[in-house]
Chain A
Amino acid sequence: MSVVNLTRPIREGSAAGRVLPWETPYRTEPIATLEHNGANLFFIEMSPAASTRLVGRRIADAGAPSTRDVDPALLLNRPATVVPLPAQAGESITAAAVRSALAAAEPRRGDALVLVTGWGDRDHEDFSDSYVLDAPGFDAEAVTALTEAARDGGHTLILTDVPYLAGPGGETVRREWVTAEPWHRPSWPSPNAKAYLEHYGPAKVSADWGPLLALLDETWLVFGLVGCAQMAAGHAFVTVAPLQVDDAGEAPCTVVAWADGSSERSTQSAHQGG
């Protein structure tokens, strides 16, 4: 068994996790260095969107399971179907495209779905905001189609290589914040971001986040995969390992996958080296 790493490396300067007003850019500072202290350790600030991330209903519902409390069987060695769903920069993926892709992939009941648009295979060391601003996303009817498919097919885990479900944020935050020049939308904890969020009330949030929350009623979601081109269409196994933050509805995660080469999952007994 050879696994492929589908996780976006977390890097300073990356656009991931710095464009929306509730995000704070990934930043590090050395605490100890090999040169001065004989060892390397560092300090981190980040938001979940700096990474590939796992999102659940708990972001809106305090009674829903947290990313730490999710049943590990849902995340570990999960049978999955890889669903090619090619999309171009800025494209809105339609319900028809979703239905057609799912029909072609023929996912097994209960499989995790890995929706591969190709966006995650672009150069993830390109630090321009384009990774976020130009990402494809699912239009409202496509989200409804996904919600129905998740419910009807028992797909309680859906992974995709786009950074956000419907492009960066919803229409309101895109119009009011995301489309501004970067110097007019300084990241959290800037006074600008805090002021914006004071005015980003429940009505705006409901409009922007409604489709995501509806989908989260049926399934856990993983956004921001990279390197999916390493996987062939068809069946595979995936493991999703979220950062073990207490009481969180969203957390950075690490995702690996491997081909389903047989009817049974292989394990590394008598593994040499390591």
Chain B
Amino acid sequence: MTIHNLTLPLYPYMPVGNVWAWDAPFRREATMTRERHGVEQYAFSFHSEAGTRLMIAACYDDDAPRIDELDYTEYVNRRTVVVDIPKGPDGELTPEDFDAHLLNHPHFRDGDGVLVRTGWGRAGRFRELGDDYARRTPHFSVAGAERLVEIMLERGTTLLLTDCAYVGNLGVGFMYPEWAQREPWDRPPFPSDQARAYMRHYTPARGAGGGAPDWAASVVLHKDLSIIPALTNVDLISTPHVNVTVLPLVLAGAEGATCTVFAEEVAA
């Protein structure tokens, strides 16, 4: 069986985790090197949801289970249908998209995970586009998110994977114009003083916490689904469904975590 690694690599300043004011870019510092010591060791720093990540209700709900409290049986060898809904830069996934492409998908069985493949996450694109891979990703409209949740719950599933880098409304009201659209040297990432100051002023009244217009679709999806965005290599999948394994970094008490995703092709 063919197995694909659908996980974005973590490398210094990789785009998913390097754009928004809450992002802390992935960094790596050598503590030992092959040249000096003969072996390499290092320390990492990054944001809890860098790159491909498992996003869960706890992001917006302190009473929801945390990453280390999940039953990983739900995330191992999970039959998942691959749904093609092509979208380009800034494209929005709408209710009509899901009605047309998912509702009557011939390979969608009750209980299947759903992998929404827009084409954005083809192999290597993240290196070509840099920060625009995150800033101009296709994403979900609020109505699209609501319709997708409705369909998935009716079919007895809550596992959503997608090659969209982000699922919400991309900070359109506040964080995009005030922060993300600026040149990188005008938005030094957390833990910079500037990022800390921005986050002090980024409250729910100004779009934080999923409030409209910045991230409303994100809240809709988080409420009922486990979401794994920022898949890569999805163009390599050649079968209409796959068995996926999603395992997060086991950060105790985390409300979401960077994760690793493998997909095994299976015969139709």
What residues of chain A have their CB less than 8 Å away from a CB belonging to chain B?
1-3, 5, 7-11, 21-24, 28-29, 31-32, 34, 36-48, 51-52, 58-62, 68, 72-73, 75-77, 188-189, 193, 197, 200-202, 205-206, 209, 213, 239, 241-250, 252, 254, 256, 258, 265-274
Residues of B within 8 A of A5 (CB): 72, 250
27 contacts between A and B (CB under 8 A): A10-B252, A11-B252, A22-B31, A22-B32, A31-B199, A32-B199, A32-B208, A36-B203, A39-B208, A41-B255, A44-B45, A47-B44, A48-B44, A60-B38, A72-B5, A76-B262, A202-B37, A244-B5, A245-B11, A249-B40, A268-B73, A268-B79, A269-B109, A272-B111, A273-B74, A274-B74, A274-B113
> Is B78 part of the contact surface with A, judged by Cβ < 8 Å?
yes
Q: Is the CB of B209 within 8 A of A245?
A: no
In the complex the two chains form, what is the Cα distance from A3 to B158 in whole Å?
19
* B residues at A contact (CB < 8 Å): 3-5, 7-11, 22, 24, 28-29, 31-32, 34, 36-49, 51-52, 58-60, 62, 68, 72-74, 76-79, 109-113, 156-159, 190-191, 195, 199-200, 202-204, 208-211, 226, 243, 245, 247-256, 258-260, 262, 264, 266
Cα-based distance from A213 to B52 in the complex (angstroms): 31
Going nearest first, the 4 A-B pairs with the smallest beta carbon separation are: A38-B209, A241-B247, A241-B260, A40-B255
Q: Which residue of A lies closest to B77 (CB)?
A: A267
B52 interface neighbour in A1, A2, A42, A244, Cβ under 8 Å: A244
Partner pick for A188 among B43, B48, B255, CB 8 A cutoff: B43
User: Would A9 and B45 count as touching, CB distance under 8 A?
Assistant: no
Q: How many A-B residue pairs have CB under 8 A?
A: 251
In the bound complex, how far is the Cα of B147 from the Cα of A70, in angstroms? Answer: 39
List the A side residues contacting B195 at CB < 8 Å. 31
Task: Determine if B74 and A59 form an interchain contact, defined as CB atoms under 8 angstroms apart.
Answer: no
User: Residues of A contacting B260 with CB < 8 Å?
Assistant: 241-244, 254
Q: What's the Cα separation between A197 and B7 when bound, in Å?
A: 34
Please, how many angstroms separate the alpha-carbon atoms of A3 and B76 in the complex?
8
Residues of B within 8 A of A59 (CB): 34, 39-41
Q: Is the CB–CB distance between B39 and A44 below 8 Å? A: no
- Residues from chain A with a CB closer than 8 A to the CB of B249 are 10, 51, 243, 252, 254
When distances are taken between beta carbons in the complex, the residues of chain B under 8 Å from A68 are 5, 9
Across the interface, which residues of B come within 8 angstroms of A22, CB to CB? 31-32, 41
Known pairs A37-B22, A246-B10, A274-B113. 11 more at Cβ < 8 A? A31-B195, A38-B210, A39-B210, A60-B40, A206-B38, A239-B262, A245-B11, A250-B40, A254-B249, A269-B109, A274-B74
How close is B56's CB to chain A, nearest CB, in angstroms? 10
**A3 — which chain B residues lie within 8 A by C-beta?**
72-73, 76
- Closest residue to B196 on the A side, CB-wise? A31
In the bound complex, residues from chain B placing their C-beta under 8 Å from that of A21 are: 31
Distance in angstroms from B231 CB to nearest chain A CB is: 12
**Residue of A2, A41, A245, A256 touching B28 (CB-CB under 8 A):** A245
Contact residues in A for B209 (Cβ distance below 8 Å): 34, 37-39
